[in-house]
Amino acid sequence: MDPIIFQETVLQLSEDAALAIRPGITYEQLEELLAQKLEELISHNFQQFVLLLYKIDVAENKVREVLEADITPNAYRKIAALLIQRQQQKIISRKEFTKPIDDNEEEKW
C-alpha cells in the first residue's frame, strides 16, 4: 500500500468519522479504531452510522453482506475495512482524474 495514499486515507477518515488518530498509525490499528467507532454508532446512533456510510460512499449491499454473514464483533472490522478500502479508491481516483494538463500537448480530440 502506498504510504502517501494511506496517510491521506487516515486524514480523511479522521475527519469523516470524527476520530482522533495519532500519527504513525498502522493499517491494523486504524481498522481496529474504526471498528470500535462503528460498533458505538451501530449500537447507539444508527442514523450517524448510515450517514457515515453515505459520506464515504460505501455500497450498502456490501455492508449488508457482511452483516448477514457475520454477526460477531469481527463484523465491525470487516465494515471498517470496507470504509478504508472505499476511501482509498476515492483518493486514487481523484489523483488520476486531476493530473495536470501538459501545456505542450495539443488537445486530444
pLDDT tens column, 70-91: 888 889 999 999 999 999 999 9
How many other β-carbons are positioned within 10 Å of the β-carbon of residue 46? 10
Query: Can you say whether residue 24 is alpha, beta or left, with left for phi > 0 and alpha for psi between -120 and 50 degrees?
Result: left
Every domain of the chain and the residues it spans:
3-95
Instruction: Give burial (CB, 10 Å; 0-12/13-18/19+) of 83.
Output: buried
pLDDT score, position 16: 92
pLDDT tens column, 36-61: 999 999 899 999 999 999 999 999 89
Pairwise pLDDT comparison (45 vs 108), residue with the higher score: 45
What DSSP designation does 105 have? Answer: S
Which range among 18-27, 53-62, 90-99 shows the weakest confidence by mean pLDDT?
90-99
pLDDT score, position 100: 65
- Is 60 exceeded by the pLDDT of residue 108? no
Quote the cell numbers at residue 8. 491521506
Pairwise pLDDT comparison (71 vs 25), residue with the higher score: 25
Quote the cell numbers at residue 106. 495539443
How far, in whole angstroms, is CA 26 from its chain's centroid?
A: 14
Quote the cell numbers at residue 66. 457482511
- Distance between CA atoms of residues 85 and 71, nearest Å: 21
